[in-house]
Structure 1
Amino acid sequence: MLERDWHSYRASQLRRLAAPREPEDLPEDVEPWDEDPGAPFDRWPGLAAGITSLAGADPDTAARTAVSRLMTGPYPLPKPHLALVPATRSADVPAVMGWHAEAPLPLLCALLRSWEDRFGARVVAFDGAMIHVSVARPPRDADHAAHVALEHVLTGADNVNDGTVPYPDHAASLVNSPLWSFWWD
């Protein structure tokens, strides 16, 4: 399924890059964004390699730290509530709760399960159509982050795919990042 989605993404990326760039209607003192090159892969690279559990924090400790950051950081969650969800894995929480967003829920839950195994990820919070995921073992270098970023793109999340953050910038933001957030409009 991800490989099929990647082929669709890649075809769209190539069409966009080949199309003439439309002039932007910006004020004189504003520079336009650079053209987003998209993912740096010419063929499906498969899933990004995981990081061994000895190379990072304990996933439960990372989850507690992420929740604390979400509660007290510069943009704290509004009116948070604690929920006990009868799910064996945090990756199943969105489906068990019946969380509704424009997210492709089966694909997202499958990726979340895979991220649990490979990166010590845990679903820690929801805020409307936004989901927050703690990451105990995030990518440690730019190449690995670029590979992980492709999986983020394939979730269809608007914050990754709306064109406001170029692919290389999103990938760079994942290096050593203990919290990944996604939203769908």
Structure 2
Amino acid sequence: MTDAERDLGRLLPSGDPSTVADLLPPGRLVGPRQDREDAPPVLWLSDGPAPFGLWEELHRAHPRSGLWPLLLAPLREGDEEFRPWATGELSTESASEPDWYDPAALLRNGWEYSTTVDSDGEPLDPDEASELGRSVAPFLDGWPGTAPAADRTGDPDGAARALARELLAFNANLRIGLVAAAGGAEALTACGWSGPVNHEDDIAKVSAVLLDWERRYGTRVVQVGFAELELSVAAPPVDEPTALRIAAEHLAFCPDNIFQGAGTLTAYAPGLIGAPQWSFWWD
């Protein structure tokens, strides 16, 4: 048994690590050190940059290996510590399970919280409420509900592989991570990622929404950073009304995308029409 097979066997004792072990460059296991120093590993991390095409091979092997591949980015370019991954700034202690939650209810709650209180949790004053009204138009009357599922979802796996190639072509310093999980949404909970902690401290709720988007729009988690997320999208919106509804979901899921980005839903939504990638960033 190789070192890689032994390591992967610790991540997924019931799996067959031999299906991917021979594909891997040098790497090591990482445990959630925020829980405790000797916590069991939750992630296999390559020591160096991901070889081009490896994510795709690992993705194809996932049904047999049970290990979901992630392209991993550090806190900032040139970060020699490669936070949070190599430093184990991960925690699985407080997470619940994605299937405990109704994603539509989570998005409604996210919308209501993001549109009724300020960053300190205090009710908006009249000037803040007026400014917010401009940001969330045309949904001044409140949460519009989740957008309908796409009629056709295209090829989610093909879209994910295409995005992985594009991301690696743009940033050759990304590393490969492997997590024992049914898919990318569940992988975030399984490895204890805490990127959205300033907005949502239970990553299972984030995973629950991502699972819903997988079903409705054929999304896949491809790249994860310190507090960033890159999804492939096989069935993006094709018209402005649907794009606006999805923009409202994005605000509920990640308010910084709008409030620290485009500024308004009407400015943000056109960029979603036909877009094969959704990007999120939490302050």
Band the TM-score falls in, shorter-chain normalisation: 0.7 to 0.9
RMSD, aligned α-carbons: 2.3
Distance 2:261 2:224 in 1: 23
| Structure 2 letter corresponding to 1:111 | V
Using structure 2 for the length normalisation, give the TM-score.
Answer: 0.53
Corresponding pairs, count: 165
| Structure 1 letter corresponding to 2:259 | N
| Structure 2 letter corresponding to 1:88 | A
Runs of 4+ in 1 over 4 A off after TM superposition: 12-15
Q: Is the 8 A contact 1:66 1:124 kept in 2?
A: yes
Within 5 Å, give how 1:139-150 maps onto structure 2.
139-150=237-248
Within 5 Å, give how 1:17-166 maps onto structure 2.
17-18=129-130, 36-41=134-139, 42-52=141-151, 55-72=152-169, 76-77=170-171, 79-103=173-197, 104=200, 105-162=203-260, 164-166=262-264
Q: Is the 8 A contact 2:231 2:277 kept in 1?
A: yes
Structure 1 gaps, min length 5: 20-34
Q: Is the 8 A contact 1:66 1:179 kept in 2?
A: yes
Distance 1:39 1:99 in 2: 32
Give a deviation string over 1:142-179, Cα, whole Å, max 9, x none.
Answer: 11000001111111352333255432121111001110
Q: Does the C-alpha gap of structure 1 residues 14 and 66 become closer, same or farther in structure 2, counting only changes over 3 Å?
A: farther
Structure 2 gaps, min length 5: 1-105, 118-123
Higher Rg = 2
Distance 1:14 1:135 in 2: 37
> Equivalent pairs: percent with the same residue?
33
Give a deviation string over 1:68-108, Cα, whole Å, max 9, x none.
Answer: 12122xxx235111222211122111111211213422332
Distance 2:194 2:172 in 1: 19
Distance 1:7 1:83 in 2: 35
Q: Is the 8 A contact 1:160 1:182 kept in 2?
A: no
| Structure 1 letter corresponding to 2:223 | A
Using structure 1 for the length normalisation, give the TM-score.
Answer: 0.78
Tell me the CA shift for residue 14 of structure 1.
Answer: 9.1
| Structure 1 letter corresponding to 2:148 | A
Q: Does the C-alpha gap of structure 1 residues 14 and 2 become closer, same or farther in structure 2, counting only changes over 3 Å?
A: farther
Q: Does the C-alpha gap of structure 1 residues 61 and 90 become closer, same or farther in structure 2, counting only changes over 3 Å?
A: same
